[in-house]
Amino acid sequence: MGHETHVHIVPYRVFVRVWLLLLVLTGILVATSTLWHEALSVWAMLIVTPLKAGLVLFYFMHLNYEKPYLRALVFLTLGVLTLFIGILFFDILDR
Amino acid sequence: MSYLTEGRRKGIRSWILSTDHKRIGVLYLVSMVSLFFIAVLIGVLMRIEQLTIETPMFEPQTYNAFFTVHGVIMIFMFVLPGLPAVFGNFFLPIMIGAKDVSFPRLNLLSWYFFIAGTGLVVASLFTGAGPPDTGWTFYAPFSLTSGTNVSLGVFGAFVLGFSSILTGLNFITTIHRLRAPGMKWHRMPLFAWSLYGTAWIQVLATPIIGITLLLVIAERLFGIGVFDPAKGGDPLLYQHLFWIYSHPAVYIMILPAMGAITEIIPTFARKTIFGYKAIAYSSLAIAFLGSLVWGHHMFTSGMSEKANLVFSLLTFIVAVPSAIKVFNWTATLYKGSIEVRPPMLYALTFVFLFAIGGLTGLMQGALAVNVQLHDTYFIVGHFHYVMFGGTGMGFFAALLYWFPKMFGKTYNEKIAVFAWVPIFIGFNMLYFAMLVLGYMGMPRRYFTHLPQYRTGHIIASIGGFILAVGLVMFFANLVVALKRGRKAEQNPWGGVTLEWKIPTPPPLENFSIIPRIDDRPYRFNPEGS
């Protein structure tokens, strides 16, 4: 069989570090929602949540070790979804 | 030996359990053409209703069910799966030099989803409180309150969506991973490019309609109040979500038809395609820009003025890549050695009718005109020019072009041309009359009409009957050819893409040796003679 044997062995410590970072980011989110003004928690959510999702995609789902074009395709998909939602605001903000 | 005779199984099981992309393509063809004729019949019944308004043949509620079912079948079960499911499945792997699609079992599963969705929609007609009466758009809040069998019909459409997504996924992977050695992106036939653009829309946009339809069901069953204004919901949100999918869906329908036309025109002009890269990238541009113009279905809905302006502008922009294709086809014909055989005749008809459909679409992109024409017969005329004159005619042209290769039989070319006459005349009588009626103010979806629209309706109805006769002639010719047609040659039209370089009908795995591609496609006289 001529299939590719292109496997990345990621050390456990990488996963542990990413997991700890995710916990810290979650802690930040919880803190901003309870400690400060509620508007801040929305901004924290908008900034921190994509960061967390990115960490999961890149390390736990191995996107970091894929070819650039596959990475591009994932972000193209997310970009289109963001664009759809963004255009909706031309209506919703001014109605 | 061909794919029609080889295989482990015999009889019906050799078809419904086959993972061969060609057999699956034929399965789609048979299912879709059968459904197409059911919807044509319903269309004819609607035209009879408009002829008999003094003593109506059908109840108004029956008429509501007619246009809903006609729309659902034609859109979700014919033009949407249309060319990708039949010709994409059959020819994409062959054209890129592969033995099958990337996921053959998933491919068969897609067909089962298609049949299951169809079954659910058909079941919705005969069970519960009668067929859905909402129109194919299932607009809220009416679809939330209608006493008819909307939930089951909507669920059927949801299941059909899975078929579309999985087919799209399969095609993207196939094009990325299974191109023959040497077939770089710019050596790929343009039909494959159009399928690539289409597949991305299928994968990205279809889940949105899936969730939206589920929300309609949840709202009907549990009253969750997302779309129902009485519960604080937003019915315009439904329209947004519906059209975020359903406008790009128009490009799912038309792009592969454009791809097929791009194959046919160079073959019958004996000339390489003009503007290969422009056509390839315009497919992607159409797929992308076409995904951003959904709001032009909502200009009169109460959407904000700013949104109206933005969507109007975007709508005009999407006309540019569409026009690029039309200009490139025309330029390909210029100084070509044109031979108008049946596939070419239907392909040229596509260009003519699609141009009318496209230009009437641009008219509605203008906000002021749209307010006048919204929800009139003008819209009905326009989208039939695009979907039937465009996708439908593209489907017929593709069928005539690839039929000998698919089944190894030749059809009667004279009858194919003869059938074109009633199709072309009937089509234009029916739909051009609708454009005029709409301009005069005839609203769509009414079971009856005022006296001033009488003449237009008579012309449209007679045109509809002529068209139906032409369609029967067209398909009868092909059915007869299947039974009694002469054996087809390997390359009856002198095509130069890979499908014409393998035996007719193709063998089970297409190629005994995967070819090596050293040149761009559409080279009709590589010696420069």
With a pLDDT cut of 90, the percent of chain B lying above it is 91
User: Of B8-17, B164-173, B396-405, which range is least confident?
Assistant: B8-17
Assess whether pLDDT exceeds 60 at residue B511: yes
Q: In which residue are the tokens 């067929």 written?
A: B131
Q: What is the pLDDT of residue B6?
A: 83
Average of per-residue pLDDT across B134-151: 91
DSSP string, B319-338: HHHHHHHHHHHHHHHTT---
B262 with B329: CB under 8 angstroms?
yes
Q: What is the ipTM of this complex?
A: 0.79
Distance CA A19, CA B88 (A): 44
- What is the pLDDT, as a whole number, of residue A6? 61
Q: Each residue of B414-470: pLDDT tens digit?
A: 999 999 999 999 999 999 999 999 999 999 999 999 999 999 999 999 999 999 999
Are B499 and B85 contacting, i.e. CB atoms less than 8 angstroms apart?
no
A70 Cβ under 8 Å from any chain B Cβ: no
**Which comes out higher in pLDDT, residue B26 or A69?**
B26
Give yes or no for residue B302 having a pLDDT over 60: yes
Task: Please give the backbone phi and psi of residue B45, each rounded to the nearest 5 degrees, phi first.
Answer: -60, -40
DSSP H/E element including B55: none
Q: What is the pLDDT of residue B208?
A: 93
Segment A61-80 mean pLDDT? 88
Q: How confident is the model at residue B163 (pLDDT cuts 50, 70, 90)?
A: very high
Contact B263, B497 (CB under 8 A): yes
Q: Among A87, A93, A94, which would you mutate to test the B interface (most chain B Cβ atoms within 10 Å of its Cβ)?
A: A87
Is B13-501 a domain of CATH 1.10.1200.10? Answer: no
The pLDDT tens digits for B171-199 are 999 999 999 999 999 999 999 999 999 99
Give the per-residue pLDDT at A42: 82
A40-54: pLDDT as tens digits: 888 888 899 999 999
Per-residue confidence at A2, pLDDT binned at 50, 70, 90? Answer: very low
Ranges A75-84, B75-84, B109-118, B264-273: which has the least confidence: A75-84
**Which pLDDT score, from 0 to 100, does residue A93 have?**
86
Q: How far is B309 from chain A (nearest CA, A)?
A: 9
Tokens of B138: 């299932």
pLDDT at A43 (0 to 100): 85
In whole numbers, what is the pLDDT of chain B averaged over residues? 94
CA-based nearest residue to B501, from B518, B192, B511: B511
Q: Which of residues 289-348 of B touch A (CB under 8 A)?
A: 291-292, 295, 302-307, 310-311
Tell whether A93 is within 8 A of chain B (Cβ).
yes
Give residue A70's pLDDT.
Answer: 86
Partners of A70 on chain B (C-beta within 8 Å) are none
What's residue B118's pLDDT?
95
Q: How confident is the model at residue B526 (pLDDT cuts 50, 70, 90)?
A: low
Q: What is the pLDDT of residue B447?
A: 94
B279 has pLDDT over 60: yes
| Residue from the list B204, B208, B305 with its beta carbon closest to the beta carbon of A77 | B204
Listed by number, the residues of chain A in 73-92 with a beta carbon closer than 8 Å to a beta carbon of chain B are 77, 80-81, 83-84, 87-88, 90-92
Name the band, by pLDDT with cuts 50, 70 and 90, for residue B9: confident
User: Residue A35 has what pLDDT?
Assistant: 78
- Name which of B204, B236, B307 is nearest A90 (Cβ-Cβ): B307
- Residue B527, pLDDT above cutoff 70: no
Question: What was the pLDDT predicted at B436?
Answer: 98
The C-alpha angle with vertex B288 and arms to B282 and B290, in degrees rounded to 5, equals 90
pLDDT for res B529: 39
Strand-pair partners of B287? none
List Cβ<8 Å contacts ≥24 apart for B487-495.
B487/B408, B487/B409, B487/B410, B488/B404, B488/B405, B488/B407, B488/B408, B488/B409, B488/B410, B489/B404, B492/B404, B492/B410, B493/B267, B493/B268, B493/B341, B493/B343, B493/B401, B494/B267, B494/B270, B494/B524, B495/B263, B495/B267
- Contact list, A87 vs chain B (CB under 8 Å): 292, 295, 310
B 180-219 residues with CB < 8 A to A: 204, 208
**pLDDT above 90 (res A30):** no
Q: Please, is B130 exposed, middle or buried when counting C-beta atoms within 10 Å of its C-beta (0-12, 13-18, 19+)?
A: middle
In this complex, do B244 and A91 lie within 8 Å of one another by their Cβ atoms?
no
- Condensed to tens digits (0 to 9), the pLDDT of residues B202-242 reads 999 999 999 999 999 999 999 999 999 999 999 999 999 99
pLDDT category of residue B528 using cuts at 50, 70 and 90: very low
Domain boundaries, chain A: 1-61, 66-95
pLDDT value at residue A1? 38
Cβ A84–B305 below 8 Å, yes or no?
Answer: no
Q: Do B236 and A91 touch (CB under 8 A)?
A: yes
pLDDT, greater one: B97 or A36: B97
Q: Is A95 within 8 Å of B204 when comparing Cβ atoms?
A: no
Runs of H (alpha helix) within B413-524: 413-440, 454-484
Give residue A34's pLDDT. Answer: 81
**Taking residues A62-83, what's their average pLDDT?**
88
